[in-house]
Structure 1
Amino acid sequence: MNDIKAIRSSFFDFTRSVADPSELEGSARFIEDGLLLLKAGKIISLQSWNEAQARLDPRLEILHLPDNIIMPGFIDSHIHYPQTEMIGADGEQLLDWLDHYTFPTESQYHCPDRSAGMASFFLDQLLRNGTTTAMVYGTVHAQSVDALFAAAFERHMRLIAGKVMMDRHAPDALLETPGQSEEATRGLIARWHNKGRLSYALTPRFAPTSSPELLAVVGRLRREFPDLYLQTHLSENTQEVAWVKALFPERVNYFDVYRHHGLTGRKSVFAHCLHLDEQEWRDLAHSRSAIAFCPTSNLFLGSGLFDLQKKWDWRIPLGIGTDVGAGTTFNLLQTLAEAYKVGQLRGYRLSVYEGLYHATLGAAHALSLDGVLGNFAPGKEADFVVLDPRATPLQRLRQANSATLRERLFLLMILGDDRTIYQTWIQGKPVYRRDDDEIKQGAA
């Protein structure tokens, strides 16, 4: 029995993807006292303790976590690892913020040692916050992505990442020609795509820093390697939208810039999407592209309020992104708390079921990973987070006077932070424990 692991605790997940928020509570599964069986980094089964105990081998050791709730690992759909070291920089609007903080910081990632040090720190922050999968931006430097993938491979993490592609409207030190960008990207694809649990994402930063020639290169690579991901930004800031209109007057709208070059569709993830016209919503839906909703970043930079109702109206896949460093936390519970407030400002009530769905199975669906992770279905990868609903005196007080599961989960979403993360597991092995505040590098 040494190759089977058993964990007894409370468990929460979603059993299926949904097309309407009214279906979320019905697809949610909560087992107050359950038993999770794992083998070789995969889920064998999740059952209630009463169902499972009669068939258990008495020799099986069981890890009992009675005061916790275990959920699938959180999925961060949009984040910039080099911006970790500038998180919380005095807020400005997007374009000035890029010039004053982002570009100077990213210009230092030509150094492999700096890239390796920050990649390690970044991934440790993800695990400390219960994030087991992420879609990540490097810098324009190939070595920044080499360092990130190497550190993720060592930790056995599932990661999607790519080198920023950028050939105009940025400092000279961060610019490349389309040919240079293609050569460096091809090398990274060859070294890392589908190695272990790693996937490569073509990463044109956004339309203003991409010439038509560069976007043509991205489109050519997308056609040649159809299983690659693509990540970029779309309609984050009103000034940005106006700039794109001036740079690409021949295109119908911002989304059409990407559509024209073949950059939309399944495995294409567009961050923000705050100022879309009706045609863009329709084209996003028809192309089967996905959105990354980044509430803390959108609020911090004053970019706007995302329309969650439109996402459901058009049935567009969506994940939650922290968008560090414009986002102000690595923690997806805190990010969901801000998403709730964004909804309130738009007259939309984000339920706790919807919030947790967007951070787990919904995000997995948006990233075309729902076949391998996102819930506790048999055969899926055993990445999960152990949450402590009573991590602080305030949380203990509120949990004690909460009568329903909905209330308990809602408080977890609204009051939770990194202290709420008790353990993080990758492929069936613990890699972070709050009690000893330690990251177990390579433990999986």
Structure 2
Amino acid sequence: METTYLSGLDRVEGVATLLIMALGGALVAALASRLVRTSKIIRPMLLGLALDTLVLFVLIIAFGSLDADARLWHSLGTVAAQNLTEDISAQYSTVLSKEGKEGYIWILGLLYVAGGPTPLLGVALNLIARGLTIAVVARTTQELADEAGISKKLTDRSVMIAGYITALLPCFAIWAPQLLRESLTVLLISVTVCVAVVLCRKRSVVPLLVIIAALALLAWIRQTLGVSVGIAVIFALLFVLLGRSLHARMFRMILTIVAVPAIPLLLQQVLAIIGMESDSIIGTTADLSETASSGFPGLSDGTSLTTVFLITVPRVIAGPFPWEMNGEFVMLLAFIDLACWLLVLSTSLLAVRLFREGKLLARANWMLPLVLITVAALVLGLSMITGNYGLLARFRPTVTILLIPLSAFWFGHSSMLYDTGASATVGSRGSAKLATLRWD
């Protein structure tokens, strides 16, 4: 029987659970909006919800049925629900066969226990995660702004811009209203980095516990990314905190000298534990390339690990390349994701200059490595598990989300300069009035 987005809504428990989740989501959004000082952050959160809902309606009208990946998660979630309510040991191993991904299966199973096998319950959870992500990214921006000691006006403007970018970028909105793990993954990564920033500013036990919990949940849902982010955050925290010590430059140099040869060895051991040795990486990327129309050329079982990275890393950073574009729908999604990524990446690189000595964000420059090291680790992590552009379009937003605060600072600073220049022009002309962009 075909599974549609609306399956399960013919049962009372499905509709009731969906309504409860909607009310709970509204409460969560209201509480999340308090993460930042400006109450106006609720505006981009509502706008993001409206955009996601529009995309959901388009999916229902245009396709109706769940795609292949969503159908698989739905079927596994249904089996998980049965195992939670009945003793079906024969199917238990089937649910757990998705090693490193089982967390999402059991989350769906819990939802299906309450409301029956209703795909919209998983979609509702993703929409709630999207709203939370908007607030979390805005809070990260606020923490960095507070550390830099910039004006309240520029802080509020940058925070709002971060919220709007997160809410409106298609690379997030496309995947949120689908029965996939993308929204939860993006949320957990953004929470980890946000709380790590808080930990650097206000050293206490609570943020550390939140980081551990977020990383554990991320590893349960998407193991490889959880390991990559975990290693990156540990190293970044050490690097950042040592940078605040009396002999910062010396300590950082020692850490770098020790870590550069140690990290590959540590990563190799960790990957071996989770079953991702070099042969596994080669085989996974080759399979993903050969079984998809948007596969990266050059990947095969006989490829060396070095060649794999030479093929995947450039594409994670800047693919698809112009000569790889074609008329297939999956490549259109990849191009949309690339446009979003390049917009955020380019403006973030421009913002990095604001962290230099004597510049706008110089007081917060000691925290910049926290974001950049995590971004580098995620790029490396994605390069080990991505072999086609369809998958990359779903994975790369996990990196994009980390750079949005930096991008927001650049947009905020640039708009303030525009306002200042416009005001000076208006003043020289007397009573003329000029309408300026209102981000806040």
Higher strand proportion: 1
Between Structure 1 and Structure 2, whose CA radius of gyration is higher? 2
Q: If the TM-score is normalised by the length of the shorter chain, which range does it land in? A: under 0.3
TM-score normalised by length of structure 2: 0.25
TM-score, structure 1 normalization = 0.25
Which has the larger helix fraction? 2
